[in-house]
Chains A and B, each alone.
Chain A
Amino acid sequence: MSSYAPGSCRNPSIEAAEQLLQTGVPAPFDIVPPLPAFLSAAIGGITGFSTSLCFSIVLLAAIVAQAAAFYSLARPRGPLRGGFMALVGLFGPSRVYLAVLCLDAPDRIVFWALIATATSLRKRSAVVAALCAGAAVLSRSQDFNSFDVVALAELALLLGLAADSARLRLLGFVGLALCLTPFGAPRETRAGLRADFRPDLRTASNPILRQAHYLTISKLHPEASLLWLKAGAQKVAYGPCAKFGHALEIKYDSMLGGCSFDVPGIAGDAVLTSRRVFDQLQPIRGLLDIEGLERYIRWSNRPEAVSVQREGNEIELRTSLGPDDLILVRENWSPNWSITPDSAKLRRDPLGFIVIDPERAGDFHAALSNARFAPTIRSRIDETRLTLAKFPAIAPGSAIDAQTFERGPFRPEQYISVFGRGFNPDSTRLLLGESRLEPMWVGESQINFQLPADASGMLELRALTGRHTSFPEAIEVRP
């Protein structure tokens, strides 16, 4: 069963990947998109071999390369050699894929390189240095680090394999086997190994959506995950049954601990959207940026669909435009895209999709083209890791007099209450303009404060928790 979004994978490499999966090749699925698929297309273009054959060649080469690398690293001895090689050969590539492409963390490769160096040197100082590096990686907060936990455990076990003691070698082998198999991997890794939970190609190629994908298939943060499902505009989503069962219609129970869900209200791959709202959109600040996601969804989840036809690396669009319309195309933006007519402008939305500004009303016919294999190219959008921090949010229009509940304008020194969510009683503070304001009381959804004596005019009020602020709420103060 393929989870690719319709129309998002119309090029030979993707078709090859899908064909191979449909043949039932017993390969870890997650080494399929996008790099091996892209490479197979390239080999096919040079040699003229069928894309499926090219893909098999790439797959085989990847497995052999990984097995050789692990063998040279750990140098297992005796009867364990064959089993170990088979194990790392089968599961090693999937770990690299998870590190680099799914978790969007190339720094894991540096971490692994340190492991390799330390192990091959077999010197205590090198081992200590590698462990310190591992601890540094693990100490980062607001990140999926269970992957790193397993990687660190692997380091210790590899050292065990390299030891002189036969018991330690056996212990290292069993431990490593557990870590490398899906059963020993952390949950998000296990989920990633399930075919239904793999990201579709568009998601895998987009750093923002890819990070969001791993949030949605985890058990964590159902509210934000649901918003990501809607924002990412996939008609069918996969995730833990209990996480979305209360909010979405379950479409298909896989009987394997996960469910698929209908995500309602998606009109198509390209829709008309408001220029006015687009101009006010702000970047998505983190995986739990509820307010930013809600704004994005209000802008993007429109029902007015545009005709979309894909032909290779071209997307043809036809519609009739109003004066306030932009076109959102749910395809990853990259600078390699060009558009005809060139009077139209290409822009990028906060999720990394393409936005066309036609700069005119009336009938509109345009062709988007990309010199490269567009759907497989990693989107050149912001590669910054999205934080898992919670953002405070002030409910729009919620500032009232704390005693009379009347709305503004307010007076200097007046006692004010604002309402919202994500406030932390211990750490949330207020910013009035650029000045810090000490609240009198902070609850989880309410903050009480007194306006300064010198406050005057239209002022922006923001809640501040740690380094993260809410969207500004304008209040008027009249002396």
Chain B
Amino acid sequence: MKTKKELKKEFIIQGALALFAKNGFYTTTIPDIAKSLKMSVGNMYNYFKSKDILAKEILKHISHYLGEKLKNINEKDISTQEKTKQIVTVYFQTAELRPEMIDYFLRVFLSNREVFKEGCEGMICVNDFITEIMIYFEYGVKNGELRDQDFFSAFGLFMGYLGGMVFLKGENILPNELNSYIDDISNNIYKALKV
């Protein structure tokens, strides 16, 4: 069971996540976040000592959220083809229902790498998510569905594709809803990765 302090931290993370994703990292200040949550600035610092620390905790929060969704898929006794479709579905659903999460990843984390340089070395802060993606790939190769290759070649193809589609959606370029692309994109990814 989570403590009162942990629940409060989560509350701050949710609020800050929305503001960072909407306004960007540098233009969003701790007073902005405090104001949106009806908290005093001083009280905010009781939970997060700096904006950088908060930014890293948000990244871990998103990674954990998506990682848990992927873990559920990985633990199902289904083919890699079906898992591929379910991962695409989860990603697009998150982009529709919790757009701030994907926006944060694309527009804050990837665009402001200097903020995450210390404390989020390599993939540390997105470990939960990456671990599940690795398990998905590994299972696919092991059961003979996916071609064995360098992890990042496969990872870039998969996540770059999904990220690109969500970016296009965010720019209002896509003519249709993300959900309508799930079948085609799942098939494209699976065909590109399979043996």
Please determine whether chains A and B interact with each other in the same assembly.
no
Q: List residues of B whose CB falls within 8 A of some A CB.
A: none
